[in-house]
Structure 1
Amino acid sequence: MTTLPHDRYCSELLLQTDRLRSVLVGADLTAKVPTCPAWTLRDLAVHVGGAHRWAGELVRTRARDDLPDALVPGFAGPEGAGPGSATGDDGRAALDAWLAEGAAATALALREAGPDATVWTWGWDGSAAFWARRMTHETVVHLADAALTTGAAYAPAPDVAADTIDEWLRIVSHAQAEGDPEAAELRGGGRSLHLHATDVPGAEWLVELGEDGFTWRHAHAKATVAVRGTLTDLMLLMNRRIAPGADGLEVLGDAAFLDFWLARSSFG
């Protein structure tokens, strides 16, 4: 499997944001998000919209360094989005418009820049392509948070769900290379983790721990622990949105090693 085309990421950013907006329609914006317990649904929406604007501003200005939140127009959220809004709708109309406008502006900036434009990132790839992929999956995962909170249906396209797992493994690998203390423990012992999607042929991952760290590839092989489930559920598991014991997931082998992996890829 490979990364998606740049324009596809831009389209998915808009699509996933529209789906998030739909989930929020009629929802209790003060409801606590179980998968992000410090947040309400309103907090989650403002986080996503702020992230879009921050990444979009980095790309638009071809930033060469990190950009402080205070320099990102509209980063903190829309006027009138809080409880007790003068509009009488709890600020949800302003919040909805703000989410849509931010995603549209970011997708436009990414399309105008193209994937190869040089821009600051915190990761391994200093290009606009990094932000197109990152903002897509930021939205995909937080849409899951909103869906799990409200009981809404959730089913990203298979290639998007698979790429979300690919990107997350790349992020954990990058964190390990940068000396993150949790990710640093993902090494040694010859242990391995196999993910096997039961609904999408070929959607499999093999993660292998070595003395210098871990590597991963798309493969079918015997492992220390294997997890079988739908591709969506595997993606949610790897992003720690559902637990190994969730309905529909089958864990075979050393379940303690799966817990070890999940606990040490929990940063961010």
Structure 2
Amino acid sequence: MTPPLTHDRYCEEIAHQVGQLRTVVTSGADLSSAVPTTPDWSLEQLARHTGGALRWAGVLVRTGAEEDVPEDRVPGFDGPGAWGDPGALDAWLAESGELVVGALREAGPDAKVWSWSGIDNAGFWARRMTHEVTVHRADATLAAGLPYEVAPEVAADAVDEWLEIVEWAQRTLPDDAVHELRGPRRTIHLHATDAGAGNRAEWLIELGEEGVSWRHGHEKATVALRGPLTSVLLAFYRRLPLDAPGVDVLGDRKLLESWLERATFG
């Protein structure tokens, strides 16, 4: 499937999202506080994970890697030496963003680069890192009690990418929990109630004997998840509870809960 955003747009969004994450880091929030949506991490660990992922992808793209690159071969992967220093963490995140965006812009979307997905080009990494930092920035803002907003076209594409990753897991990982969703035909409808993303803001996910498939569209379903697009994105990524204000679940809630439990990165 061809991503709906251009390579330049993904690069711009990575830079924007890194800037927004840096704002959280320097907001005065307690860097040692636990992140509710990723409870194994503190806010600082979350920021370091995100910056490290950006640096790793930057090395892959800059070197035209033909295979995975170990983390210990990524300069500065672990972050600044001093913990609890928002200034040092901010500077490191800024550099992390500059490194990956610079590598992606120089390479262009069609440059050959290894990926775990089988889409072996820099364009894959531009899209993947956009949504990596977009969702983890949501983790950070929710932990810090700050408002979260994301451009509608980016939010809609993040849902698309998640569904494509589920399909990838279904094709390539025989032991993945997504296979537990096979069975009689059932459907999940995601419906963004704001109009910012147009007809790309509705999804119909089919679960059947052959597995998972999906398409954009408005159809009656076994269960529907409705709300503003940002809320639908966060609930679908398990960053908001299904009973959060503004989020509505209509129909078979247990089916949606089963999906959220089993449709993961693998």
TM-score normalised per structure 1: 0.94
Mark the runs of 5 or more structure 1 residues left unpaired by the alignment: 83-89
Give 2:194's match in structure 1, choosing from 174, 194, 199: 199
Give the RMSD, CA atoms, in angstroms. Answer: 1.2
CA apart distance, 1:180: 4.1
CA apart distance, 1:78: 1.4
> Where do 1:67-106 residues align within 5 Å?
67-80=69-82, 82=83, 90-106=84-100
Give 1:143's match in structure 2, choosing from 122, 133, 137: 137
Distance in structure 2 (CA, Å) of the matches to 1:214 and 1:151? 35
Q: Does 1:12 align with 2:13?
A: yes
CA apart distance, 1:267: 4.1
Q: Which residue of 1 aligns with 2:104?
A: 110
Distance in structure 1 (CA, Å) of the matches to 2:118 and 2:67? 14
CA apart distance, 1:2: 4.6
Aligned length: 260
Q: Which residue of 2 aligns with 1:185?
A: 180
Mark the runs of 5 or more structure 2 residues left unpaired by the alignment: none
Secondary structure of the corresponding residue to residue 241 of structure 2: coil
Distance in structure 2 (CA, Å) of the matches to 1:235 and 1:197? 9
After TM superposition, the structure 1 stretch with the greater mean CA deviation from structure 2, 131-140 or 178-187, is 178-187
Q: What whole-Å deviation, never above 9, does each CA across 1:91-117 have from its counterpart, x for those lacking one? A: 211110000001111001001100001
Cα 1:24–1:130 shift into 2, 3 Å: same
Q: Does 1:65 align with 2:67?
A: yes
CA apart distance, 1:24: 1.5
Distance in structure 1 (CA, Å) of the matches to 2:192 and 2:253? 18
Distance in structure 1 (CA, Å) of the matches to 2:188 and 2:3? 20
Secondary structure of the corresponding residue to residue 240 of structure 2: coil
Q: Is the 8 A contact 2:166 2:264 kept in 1?
A: no
After TM superposition, the structure 1 stretch with the greater mean CA deviation from structure 2, 105-114 or 196-205, is 196-205
Give 1:126's match in structure 2, choosing from 105, 120, 124: 120
Q: Which residue of 2 aligns with 1:228?
A: 226
CA apart distance, 1:79: 2.5
Distance in structure 2 (CA, Å) of the matches to 1:46 and 1:141? 14
Q: What whole-Å deviation, never above 9, does each CA across 1:8-45 have from its counterpart, x for those lacking one? A: 10010010000011011111100100000010000001
Counting aligned pairs with the same residue, the percent is 56
Distance in structure 2 (CA, Å) of the matches to 1:2 and 1:188? 30
Q: What whole-Å deviation, never above 9, does each CA across 1:163-190 have from its counterpart, x for those lacking one? A: 0000000111111111242111222210
CA apart distance, 1:211: 1.7
Distance in structure 2 (CA, Å) of the matches to 1:30 and 1:266? 27
Distance in structure 2 (CA, Å) of the matches to 1:95 and 1:17? 12
Give 1:51's match in structure 2, choosing from 50, 53, 58: 53
Give the ranges of 4+ consecutive aligned residues of structure 1 lying more than 3 Å apart after TM superposition: none
